[in-house]
Structure 1
Amino acid sequence: MSPATAATSTATTIRVPHFVRGRLISGEDTAYLSRDFGVPFVTPQLRLDELFAPRTEPGPAFDVPVADIIDYLVEAGSRLTLAKNPYLQESLEMTLRVSALPRRIIENTYKRPGQFLTREALEYRIERTFGGADVLDGWVEHTDPGGRRSRVRAFPPRLVHMLAGNSPSAAMTSIADAALVKAVNVFKMPSADPFTTVAVLRTMADVDPDHPVLRSMSAVYWRGGDATVEGVLYRSQYFDKLVAWGGGDAIANAAKYVGPGFQLIAFDPKVSMSVIGREAFASELSLAEAAELAAADATVFNQDACVAARHICVEGGIEQVDRFCALLCERLGVDREFASGTGPKPPGEIREAVDGVRFLAPDYRVWGAYDGRGLVVRSPEPVDFHPTHKTVNVVPVTAMTDAAAYATVATQTVGVYPAHRKAEVRDRLATAGVQRVVKLGSALTGSIGNPHDAMYPLHRFVNWVVDDDA
């Protein structure tokens, strides 16, 4: 079926195909609505028994060498170019109908995975996580100090993936991760993007429709929380682990199914922040730089991302901090690679919360309007509402290390300015529960092969099995 015929069944209802163990499945059996705008879409009938082979059968890719898998991913990655890939082009047009992000930003997200799907990047991740591919490809022998021998293998798992819906590139990287560990996979596509995963798998099918990695993967949609589906799939008889991205309600629902033999690997909701030192006020140039970098971090995907800062602690007096707030508010309203100068307007709960603090001046002060260009709220301590839609909360602090008091185990990324002061605060932040410390302005960038959410994901995905002679 061509992308043109797969796109829509009517002018208003989108057809969403499934991809099941190497086969594209089309149909209009079940109707749903998208997350953000309630756009109708239809999917084929979901046949749970077709998504996986029984545990008595090894997964198709269990004994495929990692080197061969990397060859396959690299070739597929070279074809994931929007200008030349009809599946991505189709996915883009459909995503535009259900996403709050504009075309420009969605197009930019399709370009990101290229840096992760190179041979060098994939091999580096394997080396950083496992010390090499040997433990994935077979049993590696060890001898302990007592002379006892054993063999260990990072055995391929059976995984269900609840994919994130805030960025199409997440589907591409999740598929690559699943392939590297040779897993049997079911990808639950998000209602905010039930398109990209199938587009990537169709691209992989063009490379080799019978490749064991492709036959290990299914991408389908069901409404999150549907017990008639999840009560079957989320069982140790069929799968080992649930890899879950999502909001608090989605993660709480997933946690209900955790039990002996069925684990949850949760990339649960996180809140990021920034910490700005007194050096920002050394000159007008440095202040402008700090405001620009802070705005860049706060507006990632219009603040619909875990790495997007929502709270900023600034080391300085009130007059200094207010100067920073004014500049920050201006810079929030700027188009960036992954942000809109004018984004969706703040919802009612944000407007109500901000209106409430306006009456608490001078302890509280507000910059900006409800026009989607950004809001800044300065307060003596973090506000008691969750800043969204380019709403940033600025808190003055006497010393940079005081910011650690406002971090928790739910704080993912902290951007620091100036960069040389990261060493001054990183231990305090880590003690509070922070998982990542970066230079201000680089929240979305990062080095390949590092932990994510305080873990090495690939290390958690596999099943560590020992053959012990002792």
Structure 2
Amino acid sequence: MSGTTLDSTAADPVAVVHVIRGAIDEGPRTEHGSRQSAFTAPVLDLDRLVWPRTEPGPAFHVPTAEIVDLLVETGEALKADRQGLLAEALDRMIHVSPLPAEVLERAYAALWRSFRRPGLYAQIDHELGGADVLDGWREVRLPEGRVAATRAFPPRLVHIIAGNAPGVAATSVVRGALTKGVNLLKLPSNDLFTATAILRTMAAVAPGHPVVRSFSAVYWRGGDETVESVLFRPQFFDKLVAWGGEATIRGALRYVGPGFELVSFDPKTSISLIGREAFESPRTLAEAAEAGAADATFFNQQACVASRFQFVEGTVEEADRYAALLCERLGVAREFSSAAGPRVPAALREEIDVLRSLAPEYRAWGGYDGRGLVVRSPEPVDFHPDGKIVDVVPVSDLSEAVAHAGVATQTVGVYPDTRKPELRDALACAGVQRVVSLGGAGGMPPGLSHDGFYPLQRLMRWVNDE
């Protein structure tokens, strides 16, 4: 997920904050970016970004209940934002993010939801089987009467977080805190503010708390070997938690080796499957189109869960009816989408214009103003629909659409719900990680798997006493 640096029109570059072990870094600064888009950040002291293995991390022995209480208080503080830390971060994000201001505002207003108590315990209970394995050793009965013990031991983590949605920063902080480990967050160039605003809010809630001291968040240019070749070593960290595009993941793989593991949230795309039941009545067709549009416009299609290809079970004429109504609904503002997204780039406009000339085999609805565009094609188009563009493909049976899913397909929305049982095993076999009711792609309930694994379980270091 590629970044953009600050578009600073002021005389002085914007100052980016670093947090080192829970405290703001007040050290000397250096400039990043170009002359037209520059920002400053504190000079990195790599020694301060690692925790020696000769001693436990600050929060290794803090009870889980205390950590949950701190996270809940942090969520309430984010919601109130009495110190204006989120407001300051939002003001700076508006000038650099590809997302419209109204979407960012609603996303920031929702950050506190990641810190609610039921969701925190859902992760602990569903992913780890309870807090006992975090707070101590869980007894395990083995065959032949043997007894062993196991513990989810706190890890040492580097997080390369993505900046396509502010919630990624919140999720990373929550997961890092629940592990009790030490955490170094690399700030993405397209979101230099959210993670530090959250950590500064946590520090204001509980100054000097062991969990607060377990976090650092800093910026360096992705792929900078002078930084990464030093930090990405097993003597300092156990795991590299990487979100991002192919370049980010391939760059991270260079450092993976014995004792240093990659936990990857790979780049994904998502699709929708609309059954023939959508055409039973005008009501069902409108219901399906609204749900399909909600999935397609989540974070204006910047998120992995956003649907880009929608397969419609029916004739070409029926697919056209659905596509026309879908296009109308793409231009509706929702909690995490705006009525208008970015204008369609010139190169993509030219490609779609060619498809328009190939009617009736291809057909298109909508314009290039960012309010939504739908292409109906006999096979999936070979370009990447983005910025509220959807490709609708008619199929005679939804099972045919399974062939277009693969390991890079994250979420599949299905309409109606009753069709999911017949499709989910085949979709899972194809590599899909998530099957949802159409309209429910946005967001992921805490405590369920993410990208095919349980994050907390994967982040921990599992140790046995046999």
> Same fold by TM-score, threshold 0.5 exceeded?
yes
User: Equivalent residue for 1:104?
Assistant: 102
Q: CA separation of 1:316/1:266 partners in 2, compared to 1, >3 Å: closer, same or farther?
A: same
Change (3 A) 1:284 1:456: same
1:16 aligns with 2:27: no
- Point out the more displaced range, 288-297 or 357-366: 357-366
In structure 1, the residue matched to 2:172 is 174
> What are the within-5 Å matches in structure 2 for residues 244-263 of structure 1?
244-263=242-261
Return the alpha-carbon distance in structure 1 between the equivalents of residues 111 and 421 of structure 2: 30
Give the residue type in structure 2 aligned to 1:31. E
Partner of 2:423: 425
Cα deviation, residue 277, structure 1: 0.7
1:99-151 deviation per Cα after TM superposition (whole angstroms, max 9, x unaligned): 12222211111233333312222122111111111111112222311222322
Corresponding residue number in structure 1 for 2:216: 218
In 2: Cα distance, 1:241 partner to 1:253 partner: 14
Distance 1:12 1:97, change over 3 A: farther
Cα distance in 1 for partners of 2:186, 2:95 equals 20
> Which whole-Å CA distance do the structure 1 matches of 2:272 and 2:9 have between them?
46
Q: Partner of 1:307: helix, strand, or coil?
A: coil
- Residue type of the partner of 1:320? E
Distance 1:362 1:26, change over 3 A: farther
Residue 85 of structure 1 deviates from its aligned partner by 4.2
Partner residue in 2 for 1:5: none
Say which SS state the counterpart of residue 252 (structure 2) adopts.
helix
What CA distance in whole angstroms lies between the structure 2 residues aligned with 1:106 and 1:313?
30
Moved more, 121-130 or 308-317: 121-130
- 1:82: how far off? 5.5
User: What's the offset of the Cα at 1:91?
Assistant: 0.4
User: Aligned residue for 2:5?
Assistant: none
Structure 2 CA distance, aligned partners of 1:109 and 1:179?
21
Give secondary structure in 1 for the equivalent of 2:71: helix
Question: What does residue 232 of structure 1 align with?
Answer: 230
Structure 2 residue identity aligned to 1:422? K
* Corresponding residue for residue 30 of structure 2: 30
1:318 aligns with 2:316: yes
Q: Is 1:286 paired with 2:284? A: yes
Structure 2 CA distance for aligned equivalents of residues 274 and 12 of structure 1: 47
Aligned residue number for residue 305 of structure 1: 303
Note closer, same or farther for the CA distance 1:178–1:431 as it changes in structure 2 (3 Å cut): same
Render the CA deviation track for 1:143-199: whole Å, top value 9, x for unaligned.
Answer: 311222322111110000011101112211210110001111100011111101111
- Supply the distance in 1 between the matched residues of 2:85 and 2:30 (Cα, whole angstroms): 22
User: Which of 77, 80, 84 is the equivalent residue of 1:79?
Assistant: 77
In 1, the alpha carbon distance for the partners of 2:36 and 2:241 equals: 26
The residue identity in structure 2 corresponding to 1:449 is G
Deviation of 1:455 after TM superposition, in Å, equals 0.5
Q: Distance in 2 between matches of 1:344 and 1:28?
A: 37
Q: What is the Cα-based RMSD across aligned positions, in Å? A: 1.8
**Alignment deviations for residues 212-263 of structure 1 (CA, whole Å, 9 cap, x no partner):** 1111110000111111111111111111111011111111111111111111
Range with greater deviation from structure 2 (96-105 or 159-168): 96-105
Q: Quick one: which amino acid aligns to residue 25 of structure 2?
A: I
Partner of 1:50: 48
Q: Say which SS state the counterpart of residue 192 (structure 1) adopts.
A: coil
Structure 1 residue 389 displacement after superposition: 1.1
CA contact under 8 A between 2:269 and 2:306: conserved in structure 1?
yes
Query: Is the contact made by 1:409 and 1:432 (CA closer than 8 Å) also made in structure 2?
Result: yes
SS of the counterpart of 1:146? helix
- Matched position secondary structure for 1:367: strand
Deviation at 1:447, TM superposition (A): 2.9
Select between 76-85 and 452-461 the one with higher mean Cα deviation: 76-85
Letter in 2 for 1:181: T
2 CA distance for matches of 1:275 and 1:236?
Answer: 44
The answer as to 2:373 corresponding to 1:346 is no
Report the more deviating stretch, 451-460 or 47-56.
47-56
Equivalent position of 1:60 in the other structure: 58
Deviation at 1:266, TM superposition (A): 0.6
SS at match of 1:151: strand
CA distance in 2, matches of 1:188, 1:38: 23
Q: Out of 447-456 and 80-89, give the one that drifted further.
A: 80-89
- Tell me the equivalent position of 2:387: 389
Unaligned runs of 5+ in 2: 1-7
The one-character-per-residue Cα deviations of 1:329-369 (angstroms, maximum 9, x if unpaired) are 11111211111211111223422332332343322212222
Mark the CA change 1:22 to 1:116 in structure 2 (over 3 Å): closer, same or farther: closer
Aligned partners of 1:109 and 1:168 also within 8 Å = yes
2:438 counterpart letter in structure 1: L
Q: Which residue of 2 aligns with 1:4?
A: none
Distance 1:109 1:11, change over 3 A: farther
Contact 1:82–1:88 under 8 Å retained in 2? no
For residues 434-453 of structure 1, the aligned pairs below 5 Å read: 434-453=432-451
Q: 8 Å contact 1:307–1:413 — kept in the other structure?
A: yes
Change (3 A) 1:28 1:282: farther
1:139 to 134, 137, 142: 137
Q: What is the alpha-carbon distance in structure 2 between the residues aligned to residue 301 and residue 432 of structure 1?
A: 26
Query: Are the aligned partners of 1:17 and 1:27 in contact in 2 as well (CA < 8 Å)?
Result: no
TM-score by length of 1: 0.94
Could you tell me which residue of structure 1 aligns to residue 198 of structure 2?
200
Structure 2 residue aligned with 1:3? none
Identity of aligned residues (%): 57
Task: Give 2:16's aligned amino acid.
Answer: V
Matched residue type, 2:252: A
Q: Which residue identity does 2:13 align to in structure 1?
A: T
Aligned residues: 459
Q: Does 1:361 align with 2:365?
A: no
Q: Tell me which residue corresponds to 2:459.
A: 461
- Structure 1 letter corresponding to 2:103: I
SS state of the match for residue 80, structure 1?
Answer: helix
Partners in 1 of 2:350 and 2:84 — Cα distance? 44
Alpha-carbon distance between aligned partners in 1 of 2:252 and 2:327, rounded to the nearest angstrom: 38
- In the aligned structure 1, how far is the partner of 2:357 from the partner of 2:99? 33
Decide whether the 8 Å contact of 2:9 with 2:36 is kept in 1. no
User: Aligned to 1:260, what secondary structure does the other structure show?
Assistant: coil
